[in-house]
Structure 1
Amino acid sequence: MYQLLIVDDQPDLVTDLATNLPWRSIGIGEVHQAGSGAEALDIMRSTPIDVVISDIRMPGISGLDLIETIRRTWSHVRCILLSGYNDFEYAQRALKSQATDYLLKPVEDEELLTAVGRAIEELESRWREVSSHQSAMASIRENYPILRSHLLLSLLQGEVIARVQLEEKLAMVELPFAYESPYCMMLLRMEDYFYEQNERDASLLEFAVCNMAEEIFAEEHQLWYAKDSFGYHVFLIFQKRAGSQSLRMESIEQRAAHLQHYVKLYLKGTISLVLGGQSTFTEGLSRHYETLLGSFRQRIGVERDFLLTLNEQSQTSEGEAHSLSHLYQPPQMSHLLEAGQWEAAEQKLEQIIEELEGKRGDSYEHILEAYFALVSALSYAIHKNKLWLADCLGVEYNHLMSGPHFHTIAQLKSWVEDAIKSYRGCMEGRVQDSRTGLIQKVQEYAAGRLADASLQTIADHVYLNPSYLSKVYKLETGEGISEYLSRLKMEAAAHLLRSSSQKIYEIAAGVGYQKTSYFIKVFKDRYGMTPQEFRDK
């Protein structure tokens, strides 16, 4: 079913059109309403609209300006204009904006349904063409490098793919690697000179290095490679000769040394390489990757232009420090406490404590990391709700002011549980008016449905007009709903950029931005750099 957006500054007319016409009979599953061009664009950014019906004359953004913006940003959307003025200039601009129809008010119900039906027929025809088998296969071939890279990164991250499925995926992207084939893993780090280049030149140099590697190894080996989320290039090196059960490691080491030499000679930069021993595809692929990655992490900022070969028994050094992943993964503790999601906050704390106990032992540094992050989350939530730490935490506030005098995970857990309990009691005992309750409902809904949350969907959830809801929320929190949603989405996106191998467009879609270019713009406005620059740094 398709989604329709009706835009007019006359709310009675919008409601009448949205509720009194048999939209489902022509394939419309959901009808959205907007009272202005700005509100319409807000809905468009968070909801996959298919057809827009808009009045021409509206204060602020006119209907013509609106559909011109839609045409530039969402080229697949079909637009129908309504006007009370039989004006040739309007019709001319409508034609230039490629409006599907231009109808004069008052429009008959049947005429409007027919116009929307034509728009849907155009959409169906377009998507049939796009999704045809021939187009799909051509698109797959064009994107082989991306698909191959994505598949390799999934395996490196430990994703388990059944043998039959993996063989099908390898065949689809024309990779001739069989199960249990011998391979060698190589990690490549581009250094100093390469990172001094601008984004475009750095990308070209990375492409040149990978091409050099393929050329140097081409005589005896075939490569499968991808760039991971840490900026390293991961290569799997397979023997080209079919049926071979072993690799000539001395040949691989020689070619790796040649690659270093030619990169320095022709590209004027240095690279460091770590080679693993021979392994069997796909046995222990993720573990081997972590081993090689650990060897690089030990040498960050210390050595340059080295070639290191690890044997099968090589492991990362014991005692290597890592960040606590659960502490920073969405949903973040600050957002759970701010929204009063107590059960989810308890589960989050359990995950953090389990990671501390299972991976970090009695590391006091990691206990401190968890303590300061959790105190920050508590402070943020309490102040966001216009309360004082001293009033909410009671005796726990004195412990907070005197600093972390505990030295075990159990002590940390006990203090945090008591502090959250005190804060919860304070919140539940607080006399809240209807507006405060409304804000909590908004935040709970947004936290639970981040990818789909928008001003319109939240307004529908709390049964209020979007414009009125925006004013109330801004008055109570000092922050607009759109800014609040954008902040949550940007923080989730930043975490995924740091910690996952997902593509930019996948992250954009995952946090609710259907248009990648708009996501990049919003991200750059907030962090001062593009998502790719953020990930590279």
Structure 2
Amino acid sequence: MYKVLIVDDEKNIRLGIQAMVKREFADVFEILVASDGQEAMEIIKQEPIDILITDIKMPRVDGITLIQEVQEMKVNISVIILSGHDDFEYAKAAIKSNVKDYLLKPVNRSELFQSINKVLEELGADYEKGLEQLDELRTSQLNLILLNQNIDEDEIQRICLKTNLPEYPDGYYVDILVSKSGMEPIESLHRIKYLLEKRYGQETKHHISFNDKYDNVVLITPDGSLFDYITEKLKDEKYFHLFQAVSEKQVELKKLKEGYNQASQAKKYQFLFPRCQLIQYENIKGKHFEREELPEDMIYKISNMLGTGRDKELKYSLLNIFDYEKISSLGIGYMEAIGELINKHIFDSFFNKLGEESIEIFKLYSKVGDMYNYKDFHDYYYAVEDLVMRLHEYVKQVKSVYSDQKYMGKAIKYIEENFHTDLNLAVVSNYISVNYSYFSHTFKEFTGSNFVDYVKKIRINEAKKLLKETDYKVFEIGEMVGYKNSKQFARVFRELEGISPKEFRSQN
């Protein structure tokens, strides 16, 4: 912790500056105060002071005399002068080698903090708050580089210099480290920083680490041997496991985004090789495929086989499409293209055909539609197979219901006989022993109306007949057709007929 001495004969100013410094630099400074130069000299003789903030005009020993005596003592104290407008030129002329800055009264908070920070930088201060502020600024600016699609290399260079990124005359690497143990991003970052400090000590400043917007740790380092070191150190860890994806060596800071993109591409290979702890871009950059190599015809055939009795052939075709040896040899781009074709020809196609009634089957699609929602190739394959077979069974059931209209005839008859009861879709689907979701879709196709609207029409048609042919009261007729609440009956009647039940009776 540093020591700062504040010297001013005006108590309010002295205490005000003390309060400002204490609030802004609570963990950085031990603060001492003095009412004039003589009292300050007594303190300086007893205490090792790092920063002296002193007024010019004071009784007994003024600020200029104090500064001269400090300089004669040959002690390493950084001085910041405070002065009013009247003696400002005098103070300016009196500034010597160890006077770092001078400020006009009344003291401006931001100018004071700027001066103190400037002194701390010159002192090589390594205090926690300063490091946190620098880390926050650097993380924010580096993420700006990594996420901005349109940023040019000159702007990248400017931001790197602004955030005090070290120069790398012999080149550097970008390493993306992905936690495989569920550890919080900030904990992973602290663990990496610890390993860096253990290996490099004071030279850690050449190895920049931060969390990107995807909660991974990004490491910029000139040391190509560091990746094996990290892997080795984590071998025996029980609760901290990492996957590393490393770029090629980059020569200039303006190539930082290119290095990050290379590491990001290498990171995707964790999907194909989940047991690997380290993948370098130079080992996967040559992988490519031709469009003709994609199994598009086979995927299209699978879409045609859905709903048929060819269950084994479906599974066998999927197994051929997900040929791991071929996929791993052609690269992650080939796997991504297969996923896109499966979405296009199977999932998207059938979802658009079947519509909202099939939502129960497709509630998993939001996850299966992106293979990176799964930890690896095998998990994704099993999820695709599961959803394809669910869809296959769904389509078979729909076809079965269509092929035997007696199910729908039985359902319609049941509705006509029981519309006055507490009727719903589940009751009817159970009665005819057909899956709820399948029945909902088929009923709409068969009648041209959804279940709720269909029952409303039957009930209101019966109510119209009773209103014309009987003397029952309106609320009694509502109950007779299935509405226990007279307001609900009136609302539904008006919704379908445009007038109230009473108005209908009076017109008929």
Give me the TM-score of the superposition, normalised by structure 1.
Answer: 0.29
Highest CA radius of gyration, 1 or 2? Answer: 2
Give me the TM-score of the superposition, normalised by structure 2.
Answer: 0.30
Question: 1 or 2 for the larger relative contact order (CA 8 Å, sep ≥6)?
Answer: 1
